[in-house]
Structure 1
Amino acid sequence: MLEWEQDYLWKFIIKTTAEPYILPYTSDHPRHIHRNIPYTALLRAARICSDVTDFNLECIRIDISLLLNRYPPQFITQQFDRFFNLNHAMPVLSELHEKIYSRLHQKLLYQPTRREKQLQTMMKDPVRTPAVLQPKIWDRQLMFPRYLFDSALSINFRQELSKWRKENYAFLSSPVKHVKVRLVANTNRTLEKFFIHKKPTREILTKIET
């Protein structure tokens, strides 16, 4: 670690106002939610930071924030490698390659987010109907069963269900072989869900018929 990195790390640790505000690793949530947190944080950093040095400082901050929230170091390393591998930018992680980071920054900066894609789709619709109010087409080849997630009991439920389905329903002559199953985890209710209610968007409020 370079000297300026050590100074930045030390300042971050002793700063009393540096509170971790991300989902703790010990929370009762499916693991894919924890995997998305480092990726989303790195994605946001790559969009905001135009210089590779600033991006590296932000990576250090993300790393420390994850450690403070009890994310295992091996898990953090895997998710960092996943981000740079998927975006073909491993030299940025290993040697802070400026030209490759510049391409990464430009690529992610102009890549539309999910909300922007939904807005573009809505703008193409002449009626400008929000996606949540549009009728959904029933796809017979896709299922979204729900289950109650519990980190103590159902941590391996996805793998066990997939194995059971392949043995009993997804064999070669099965009529439901090509049906895809997308499990949706329902987490336990928290105080936040009891006391905090999100206000509907303006599109939904103005679209409701009186």
Structure 2
Amino acid sequence: MARLILDTNCFAYNNKYYKQIRGAAMGSAFTQVLANIYMFEWEQDLIQYQEKHNGIYGRLNSIEEIYRELEKAQHKDINIKITTIISTSIHFLDVTITNGNGKLRTSIYHKPTTESYILPYTSDPPRHIHRNIPYEALLRAARICLHVNDFYFERIRIDMSLLLNHYPPSFITKQINRFFRLNNAMSVLHELNEDVYHHLHQTLLRQPTRREKTLIYMMHYPTVKPLVLQPKIWNKELMYPCYLRT
């Protein structure tokens, strides 16, 4: 089954069909599992080193040894690149964590290769999808950005991304106002009120996601099955005529 999935990734582009011969489809659930399995095996040498030395931490005279271990890992797979950085900030997934005089500050990290592409306004999904895109982008920014100025610059970036994907300015303004109005934070929009933003950040940060709400519900009501697993009621009237016997 794994070989079938990996060897039959095909897609269409410019009226031509292509077969992916390297890697796997990023949106596939199987790819995520396989990548986790591979990385688990790949990182075992580093994990053993970490456990042996009580974590990757040392004084200045041991930094060369850490570099040697990372250099060995660098040559295990040409597709996996390791970048070593000594700095007061670090990127982790979509977050930049900065240590400023002992205080951590978080903001959104954008990969250099990331393009400002989102679902174009000219596409034809249900309209609530377009309305949710600015809201969810601002929600993500408010959860991650600790400081109001970082949130402000991220909001400008969201504005530009929406404009580049042909969202009307009036639509953008309306949806941005909707976010601040629903979260009682209009003063952040107009004045960059730091106290109000701090309250907004803390509130949204602790707000459970849709997936977390589902898990909480299932934990409180363990006998209730997800809808997809619930038994279906047989109703022959709902069957397609071509499957009905005459």
Q: What range describes the TM-score normalised by the shorter chain of this pair?
A: 0.5 to 0.7
Q: Deviations over 1:101-146 (max 9, x none)?
A: 001011111111111110101112234733532469xxxxxxxxxx
Contact 1:92 1:101 in 2 (8 A): yes
Aligned pair 1:34/2:118, yes or no?
no
Contact 1:118 1:131 in 2 (8 A): no
Q: Which runs of 5+ in 1 are unaligned?
A: 1-14, 137-210
Which of 206, 210, 213 is the equivalent residue of 1:110?
Answer: 206
Going by fraction, where is strand more abundant, 1 or 2?
Answer: 2
Q: Which residue in the other structure is 1:91 paired with?
A: 187
Normalised TM-score (structure 1)? 0.54
Q: Which residue in the other structure is 2:220 paired with?
A: 124
Q: Which residue in the other structure is 1:55 paired with?
A: 151
Q: State the distance in 1 between where 2:127 and 2:169 align.
A: 15
CA distance 1:113–1:131, shift in 2 (3 Å): farther
Q: CA deviation at 1:29?
A: 1.6
Q: CA deviation at 1:19?
A: 1.4
Q: State the distance in 2 between where 1:55 and 1:16 align.
A: 19
Q: Which has the larger radius of gyration?
A: 2
Q: Which runs of 5+ in 2 are unaligned?
A: 1-110, 233-246
Q: State the distance in 2 between where 1:28 and 1:115 align.
A: 26
Normalised TM-score (structure 2)? 0.46
Off by >3 Å, runs of 4+ in structure 1: 15-18, 126-132
SS at match of 2:212: helix
Q: Which residue in the other structure is 1:75 paired with?
A: 171
Q: CA deviation at 1:32?
A: 1.6
Higher relative contact order, chain-length normalized (CA < 8 Å, sep 6+): 1
Q: State the distance in 2 between where 1:121 and 1:81 align.
A: 31
